[in-house]
Amino acid sequence: MNGPYDVPQPIPYQGSKRLLAPLILPHFPREVGRLVEPFAGSAAISIAASARRLATAFWLNDAHSPLIDLWKEILARPEKLATDYEQLWHDQSDREREFFNVVRSRFNQKGAPVDFLYLLARCVKAAIRYNSDGQFNNTPDNRRKGARPDEMRQRIVHASALLKRATRLTAWDYKKVLADCTPNDLVYMDPPYQGVCGRRDQRYLPKFDHGEFCQELHTLNERGIQFIVSYDGRTGDKTFGELLPADLGLTRLEVHAGRSTQATLLGRSDVTYESLYLSAGLANSSRSKSRRRERQLSLI
């Protein structure tokens, strides 16, 4: 398997699993009818899986509807989206901060997908943040202008080619998605981590409850649906959140996610490890079993 850099990432997105995809995909079963992402975000895992032909169909869902509206444009009208982004990118010349504010105000009024793409390309940490009135309120990173138009076009067109033929798009609550899954699906979940749920995760507008999520996983087990969950881990000696319940029968691995941003700022070398949980049926599948060891995975 190649590294993460050959996989297009059209949507800049905080928390994207693009760099971790080479550590997650080896745990897929040998045959995946449909890969379902109830918390799709940038859909890094689906894009990587499609590039490696590990699934034949995809379902991208995110309760944050502007993300799904953007995905609709990427899949249906990639060239137009790229051209519209190019126009915005050039229009900002010599007035980047002022122009960001203009586009942000317009997006809050009209919700155009290309405006959303531009904001994500320019804003601090590519993070989605909303105020109490539901308006996008993140600020621009004045050190950068966003991806150059030619680079963004390549990302958009490549991702569209990988996903457009067999992808379903919805903006539902994740529980509705899980209820509609079947044993022919593999469900990959990257939910809001407990470390941010204490203060409402502004990327995930409906309230997310850890206990309710655990119950949904029990239900998936009962229905014979295989799943993988990326969840809270640790940075250095500090652990975040509770482990998923033992009675779920999951196999837990630790994935080396690199140095934490905070540690870098403070001049420390603390490394972040994310938890990766495999459902019982998946952990016993031949592809996963042949590659898995009970050890920490290293990102090379």
User: Please, what's the largest Cα pairwise distance for the chain?
Assistant: 58
The verdict on residue 163 lying in a domain is: no
Reply yes or no on whether the pLDDT at 269 is more than 70: no
State whether 80 and 141 are in the same domain: yes
Reply yes or no on whether the pLDDT at 265 is more than 70: no
Contact 58, 45 (CB under 8 A): no
The verdict on residue 149 lying in a domain is: yes
> What pLDDT does residue 285 have?
66
Could you give the C-alpha distances from 145 to 25, 98, 100, 112, in angstroms and in order?
Answer: 32, 12, 10, 19
Q: Average the pLDDT over each of 11-15, 60-64, 252-256 and give the range with the smallest value.
A: 11-15
State whether 191 and 283 are in the same domain: yes
The verdict on residue 166 lying in a domain is: no
Reply yes or no on whether the pLDDT at 128 is more than 90: no
Contact 191, 213 (CB under 8 A): yes
State whether 60 and 82 are in the same domain: no
**Mean pLDDT over the full length of the chain:** 86
Contact 140, 88 (CB under 8 A): no
Q: b/e map of 268-289 (b: 16 or more CB within 10 Å)?
A: eeeebbbbbbbbebbbebebbe
The verdict on residue 192 lying in a domain is: yes
Q: Which two tokens stand for residue 264?
A: 């870098």
CATH number at residue 142: 1.10.1020.10
Averaged pLDDT, 54-60 = 97
Contact 10, 155 (CB under 8 A): yes
Reply yes or no on whether the pLDDT at 3 is more than 70: no
Backbone angles phi, psi at 251, to 5 degrees: -95, 125
Could you give the C-alpha distances from 286 to 56, 96, 143, in angstroms and in order?
Answer: 19, 52, 47
- Tell which of 122, 156, 190 closes a domain: 156
Averaged pLDDT, 216-221 = 98
3 or 46, which is more confident: 46
State whether 47 and 196 are in the same domain: yes
State whether 198 and 262 are in the same domain: yes
Tell me the per-residue pLDDT of 243-258, one tens digit each, with 9 for 90 and over. 899 999 999 998 887 7
State whether 11 and 99 are in the same domain: no
d(Cα 90, Cα 86) in Å, to the nearest integer?
6
Reply yes or no on whether the pLDDT at 292 is more than 70: no
- Tell which of 123, 156, 189 closes a domain: 156
The verdict on residue 132 lying in a domain is: yes
The verdict on residue 161 lying in a domain is: no
Number of domains making up the chain = 2
State whether 78 and 136 are in the same domain: yes
Please state, for a pLDDT cut of 70, what percent of the chain lies above it.
Answer: 84
Contact 296, 252 (CB under 8 A): no
State whether 125 and 269 are in the same domain: no
CATH number at residue 60: 3.40.50.150
Reply yes or no on whether the pLDDT at 56 is more than 80: yes
Question: Any idea what DSSP says for residue 282?
Answer: H
User: 5-8: which pairs have CB atoms within 8 A and are 24 or more residues apart?
Assistant: 6/51, 7/44, 7/47, 7/48, 7/51, 8/47, 8/154, 8/155, 8/156, 8/158, 8/159, 8/162
Using alpha carbons, select from 25, 22, 21 the residue that is nearest to residue 42: 21
State whether 175 and 144 are in the same domain: no
State whether 60 and 75 are in the same domain: no
Assign 3-state DSSP to the chain and report helix, strand, coil percentages, each to 5: 45, 15, 40
State whether 31 and 89 are in the same domain: no
261 or 250, which is more confident: 250
Q: pLDDT class for 26, splitting at 50, 70, 90?
A: very high
Reply yes or no on whether the pLDDT at 288 is more than 60: no
The verdict on residue 165 lying in a domain is: no
> What pLDDT does residue 273 have?
85
State whether 181 and 289 are in the same domain: yes
Which range marks the domain in which residue 138 is found? 71-156
Q: pLDDT class for 298, splitting at 50, 70, 90?
A: very low
Averaged pLDDT, 215-239 = 89
